[in-house]
A and B are shown apart, each in its own frame.
Chain A
């Protein structure tokens, strides 16, 4: 119950016009803070849904594959330069952002993650590592302004945000593959 409350308060807080406006005025905060926070909010809310409808998730997301695919699709969608611009210019896209990230990314992520085997989890992380390197390279190296609402310098900062996150993923993967935790127990 507490998780539901925290999640809902997070969404409401993020949706407050002044808060949303400030966060969206900086490109990297828009993509690497506001959007992940919306996913985390959904992640927290997920528990209530899982407890209310255990049958639904067991039936329709038994191996976690549909959920994790949905998560990947929604997250990739919001990394497109165009969707960021449209969220700022069109009210309906902004609403869709606030709905899709918690409900269609946060909730499925939580439900799917524990259903996925180790291999599945690693594949997901590898996939995002590749995606983030690609997006980082795109945003850092693009000779043109990709988003009409943001300056090129914002774009380069965001690119480095992607690259550093991708580097963190690589470190994590290195840990997973080369360190055997049982040795240290």
Chain B
């Protein structure tokens, strides 16, 4: 018994085309299977400006992003009570830090770790925490944003999702963020590949110097 007819064949073709388009558009052309990847892709396309927020760093100094004017800023987001991802994130950040040539450090690029847990991460806590990762507190600073509203605006602009859970810990996504000398987010890098990240940054800095 032949159970085929043209309508069924046509329906099969339509279904295949529909399925292909569904996956194509659902994953931005087969590039982003997770929301995190989609988020990073979109950030790099949108290139948001760093919002106007006031930092309070581990030395108790207060300033805005203009403190880093004419410098690239290499940023991570963390909280010091974190026992899982953040130490690894900061470890890798220190590896990037070590790989950047000294001549650029503090002059063309600054490192900044931003805490999203301002209640617990006081300047004193950050001052202690930074020493674990050999941050000097100058060219690599650690700071909190005391004003929750400002903090939220930054997290939102950079797509950092922070979910507090019951035990005083946070679930959060992690990445290296690179803000250029005009305060625009230009790159989001994989924090698990510090060597690659360092290479990318050195390339950018070399190019800037050449100009």
Asked if B165 lies at the interface with its beta carbon under 8 angstroms from chain A, I say yes
How far, in whole Å, are A65 and B192 apart by their CA atoms in the complex? 44
Asked if B45 lies at the interface with its beta carbon under 8 angstroms from chain A, I say no
Over the window 54-82 of chain A, the binary record of Cβ atoms lying under 8 Å from chain B Cβ atoms (1 yes, 0 no) is 00000111110110011001000100111
Given the known A-B contacts A83-B26, A148-B39, A151-B171, are A65 and B34 also in contact in the complex, defined by CB atoms under 8 Å? no
Q: Which residues of B contact A73 (CB under 8 A)?
A: 15, 18-19, 22-23
Could you tell me which residues of chain B, from 129 to 175, have a CB within 8 Å of some CB in chain A? 161, 163, 165, 171, 173
Shortest distance between the CB of A135 and any CB in chain B (Å): 11
Asked if A86 lies at the interface with its beta carbon under 8 angstroms from chain B, I say yes
Majority-rule SS of B interface residues: helix
Asked if B27 lies at the interface with its beta carbon under 8 angstroms from chain A, I say yes
Given the known A-B contacts A65-B12, A69-B12, A145-B171, are A59 and B7 also in contact in the complex, defined by CB atoms under 8 Å? yes
Among B8, B14, B16, B35, the residue within 8 A (CB) of A81 is B35
How far, in whole Å, are A66 and B10 apart by their CA atoms in the complex? 9
Majority-rule SS of A interface residues: helix
How far, in whole Å, are A59 and B10 apart by their CA atoms in the complex? 10
How far, in whole Å, are A85 and B12 apart by their CA atoms in the complex? 30
How far, in whole Å, are A151 and B163 apart by their CA atoms in the complex? 9
For this complex, into which size category does the number of interface residues on chain A fall? Answer: 20 to 34
How far, in whole Å, are A62 and B10 apart by their CA atoms in the complex? 11
How far, in whole Å, are A62 and B6 apart by their CA atoms in the complex? 10
Q: Mind listing 28 A-B residue pairs with CB under 8 Å? A: A59-B8, A60-B10, A62-B5, A63-B4, A66-B8, A66-B12, A69-B12, A69-B15, A70-B15, A70-B18, A73-B19, A73-B23, A77-B23, A80-B34, A81-B33, A82-B27, A85-B34, A86-B35, A144-B36, A146-B34, A147-B34, A147-B35, A148-B39, A148-B161, A149-B35, A149-B161, A150-B171, A151-B171
| Apart from A65-B8, A69-B19: 20 A-B pairs, beta carbons within 8 A | A59-B7, A59-B8, A60-B7, A60-B8, A60-B11, A63-B3, A69-B16, A73-B23, A77-B22, A80-B34, A82-B38, A85-B34, A115-B3, A145-B36, A145-B171, A146-B36, A148-B35, A149-B35, A151-B163, A151-B165
The 3 closest A-B pairs by CB, nearest first: A85-B35, A73-B19, A66-B11
